[in-house]
Amino acid sequence: MTRRLGNNTDQSLPLVRASVAGPVVAALRSVGVEPAFVLDPLGLNEAQVMDPKNFLRHDTVYQIYQAVAEATSTDFCARVGQSVDLVKFLPLGDMLAEALTLGDFFTRFTQAVSKESNAVTQSLFVEGEHAYFSAKRNFQISVSPSQTDAFLTSIWISLLHRVLDFRWDPNQVILRVSDPDALPGQFHGVRAIKCNPQGFSIRFPSSWLSYRLRPEALENPPDYRVMDEDLAAPQDFLAGLKGLIRVHLADSGFGVDELADLCGFHQETLNNRLGPYGQTASQVIARIKQEEAERLLVKDNKSVGETAQRLGYADPTAFSRAFRKWTGLSPAAYRKSNREDW
């Protein structure tokens, strides 16, 4: 079971797209580590992390990054970040490919990244001769984000280094992160300064924002071109909760206890948060399982056994009893009476 992560008092669950951890998870095999070694103890699998439609709590993603670093090396996540192309990294990254200057790129990025998380603000601020790019967490963390920040700042420092090329001067860059030791020793000459874990920041000359980008360096392959408003991070508490449930539907024994742990709540707190929606956690889980079961049985024509497995039931008989409770029909009878509706 995922351990309790502490109490969250925000109006929405602090969620981030699961695939933000995709690059470091995928890179594990390059050093002989299977992703399952890192993800299994966290109750996740590789497919869940790679699916751009899934969202996880920020602290869960921080746990993934920490586990990856522990399985490899302290600066592994940062070194992966140095090779990441933001255009390919973000599901909405195709808008970045149209940027003409570095400033344009930053502006487009802050627009695109707003759909990646509902609890972290990333912004660009220009004051005189300096530009400040920063990320601020709008929630109380309970897991260190140091490895995640090392990964993200590595992306940006490497991008600046590529764009500046021969004009690069690391002495004009001030980088603040929660753990400078998580960065590579040779980091394009940049020396990081320690700051609190509620965010990170990069200061550089504002004149750099006018430098033009080479289109070929930001080319976005067709398979990354996704423009779908439904991919935005859920702002509503119930919507976010439903997203977490769908990620873990196949987990054996997944119920209210496990959902409360994922949210960082006690059961009573979770149900209190659902009070304004007129639902309990048990009802929300049951409804989502019912909807998914109906879809699998009728639209996807899955067997009762496979449907049960996908919903976390080891025993198809137990699933059939639950399904009859939800719908008043057996799975076979429901499929027969509803197939023509799909």
Residue 148 has pLDDT above 90, yes or no: yes
Helical pair 316-327 and 331-338, crossing angle rounded to 10 deg: 50
Residue 206 is given by DSSP the state: G
Give the pLDDT confidence score for residue 62 in this predicted structure. Answer: 97
For residues 226 and 259, membership in a common domain is answered with no
Give the pLDDT confidence score for residue 341 in this predicted structure. Answer: 53
Give the pLDDT confidence score for residue 30 in this predicted structure. Answer: 86
Do the domain assignments include residue 164? yes
Do the domain assignments include residue 211? yes
Look at 57-71, 140-154, 229-243 and tell me which has the smallest mean pLDDT: 229-243
Residue 231 has pLDDT above 60, yes or no: no
For residues 135 and 202, membership in a common domain is answered with yes
Q: How confident is the model at residue 66 (pLDDT cuts 50, 70, 90)?
A: very high
Burial of 279 (0-12, 13-18, 19+ CB in 10 A): middle
Do the domain assignments include residue 49? no
Radius of gyration of the chain (CA): 22
pLDDT digits (tens, 9 = 90+) for 301-337: 888 888 888 888 888 888 888 888 888 888 888 888 8
Q: What is the CA 169 to chain-centroid distance, rounded?
A: 33
Give the pLDDT confidence score for residue 232 in this predicted structure. Answer: 54
Do the domain assignments include residue 12? no
Instruction: Please give the average per-residue pLDDT across 241-258, as a whole number.
Output: 83
Give the pLDDT confidence score for residue 8 in this predicted structure. Answer: 41
Q: Which residue has the higher pLDDT, 278 or 66?
A: 66
For residues 282 and 203, membership in a common domain is answered with no
Do the domain assignments include residue 27? no
Nearest-angstrom CA–CA distance, 287 and 326? 8
For residues 289 and 327, membership in a common domain is answered with yes
For residues 79 and 143, membership in a common domain is answered with yes
* Domain-ending residue, one of 231, 266, 284: 231
* Domain-ending residue, one of 165, 197, 231: 231
For residues 126 and 93, membership in a common domain is answered with yes
For residues 256 and 187, membership in a common domain is answered with no
pLDDT digits (tens, 9 = 90+) for 279-294: 888 888 888 888 888 8
Do the domain assignments include residue 62? no
For residues 190 and 332, membership in a common domain is answered with no
For residues 190 and 276, membership in a common domain is answered with no
Q: What is the pTM of this model?
A: 0.69
Bridge partner list, 55: 17
What are the structure tokens assigned to 115, written together?
């759909």
Q: How confident is the model at residue 4 (pLDDT cuts 50, 70, 90)?
A: very low
The enclosing domain of 290 has a CATH number of 1.10.10.60
Which of 132, 160, 134, 163 has its CA nearest to residue 149?
A: 134
pLDDT digits (tens, 9 = 90+) for 24-43: 999 998 888 899 999 999 99
Query: In this prediction, what percent of the chain has a pLDDT beyond 70?
Result: 88
Q: Are strands 199-205 and 130-137 parallel, antiparallel or unpaired?
A: antiparallel
Q: How confident is the model at residue 137 (pLDDT cuts 50, 70, 90)?
A: very high
Q: Which residue has the higher pLDDT, 115 or 10?
A: 115
Bridge partner list, 217: none
Number of domains, the chain: 2
What are the structure tokens assigned to 95, written together?
């808008």
Mean pLDDT of the chain: 84
Which of 241, 246, 230 has its CA nearest to residue 290?
A: 246
For residues 226 and 264, membership in a common domain is answered with no
Domain span including residue 306: 248-341
Instruction: Please give the average per-residue pLDDT across 145-161, as a whole number.
Output: 94
For residues 107 and 221, membership in a common domain is answered with yes
For residues 95 and 203, membership in a common domain is answered with yes
pLDDT digits (tens, 9 = 90+) for 160-209: 988 888 889 999 999 999 999 999 988 899 999 999 999 999 999 999 99
* Domain-ending residue, one of 175, 202, 231: 231
Give the pLDDT confidence score for residue 295 in this predicted structure. Answer: 86
Q: Which residue has the higher pLDDT, 150 or 308?
A: 150
Do the domain assignments include residue 4? no
Give the pLDDT confidence score for residue 169 in this predicted structure. Answer: 94
Do the domain assignments include residue 130? yes
